Structure 1
Amino acid sequence: MPTKLPKNYKPTSKEKYMCAKHKAYFKQMLFNWKKELIEQNNRIMFNDMDDNSASADIVDQATSVSGKTVEMRTVNRNKKLITKIDSAVNKIEEGTYGYCEETGEEIGLKRLVARPIASLTVEAQEKHEKQEKIFADN
């Protein structure tokens, strides 16, 4: 049976970490975010109202193509986020959500509220980014 949350519920550190309320809160947060991303993608994909690609004016054509490129980048970014959201929801169901994939430590409520798809603690994320920078610099 799903956990019912009070209207303005916010997870607190006074509660047991990743208790049923926390899981329900983040699951709802992730569901709402995914819904927004899908709606945004649908608006972009199915809204061809201001398509000037067939216009005789070269500037209008360039603006249209440039706009479409930005929109497609947004769609692709949203698709990647949706995949990460689905992964986070799976982790909630498996009982591993909120714990660092590298260290197993608690990620922390503040970080998860700010970035509900976070899979690493701040420290592990910084270490990961430093490693990426080292490889990028080589």
Structure 2
Amino acid sequence: MSKADVLASEPEYRPRDDEPFMNERQLEYFRRKLQAWKDEILRESRETVAHLQAETENHPDLADRATSETDRALELRTRDRQRKLISKIDEALRRIEDGSYGYCEETGEPIGLARLDARPIATLSLEAQERHERRERVHRDD
């Protein structure tokens, strides 16, 4: 049995602040969380494609057609956002492999377990993210 299998067999493991940051158990926890998220998005995407293919009928009523086209456009926009999200998930999985996962891209400091658990694709610590958003607001107001 591999280390990953042993780690995965632990019931309801949750990373804790009192253990070494980004230890093997934590990395495996986040790897599984990211992979499950990606799998769910891909499953939903397949369902959407099947739904869009089934919904190719031509509606004789103009209002029905407009509603159908609006729904289709919304579905496609949602899929595009999810495609970008999958790219971010893949980047996070690569960071797990190269050892940089969990550390702020700006400061190199740990991002924090609570933030990573809530947003496993986070690349900035909370403080760095807030600075980034403040700069964005200032430049947007110009």
* Shorter-chain TM band: over 0.9
C-alpha RMSD of the superposition? 1.2
What letter matches 1:130 in structure 2? R
C-alpha distance in 1 between matches for 2:110 and 2:135: 22
Q: Deviations over 1:6-63 (max 9, x none)?
A: 12111111110000000000000000000011111111122233445x1111111111
1:2: Cα distance to partner? 4.0
Residue equivalent to 2:99: 95
C-alpha distance in 2 between matches for 1:113 and 1:8: 14
C-alpha distance in 1 between matches for 2:71 and 2:39: 23
Contact kept, 8 Å, 1:99 with 1:107, in 2: the verdict is yes
What letter matches 1:102 in structure 2? E
Which of the pair is proportionally richer in helix? 2
2:130 to 82, 104, 126: 126
- Secondary structure of 2:120's partner? coil
Which sections of structure 1, spanning at least 5 residues, go unmatched?
Answer: none
Q: Kindly indicate whether residue 47 of structure 2 is the aligned counterpart of residue 38 of structure 1.
A: no
Residue equivalent to 2:61: 57
Superposed structure 1 runs of 4+ greater than 4 Å apart: none
1:24 to 20, 25, 28: 28
Q: Deviations over 1:69-118 (max 9, x none)?
A: 11011100101100000000000001000000000011000000000000
- Secondary structure of 2:11's partner? coil
- Secondary structure of 1:10's partner? coil
C-alpha distance in 2 between matches for 1:114 and 1:41: 23
Contact kept, 8 Å, 1:51 with 1:64, in 2: the verdict is no
C-alpha distance in 2 between matches for 1:7 and 1:83: 29
Q: How many residue pairs were aligned?
A: 137
Once the two structures are aligned, what percentage of the paired residues are identical?
A: 42
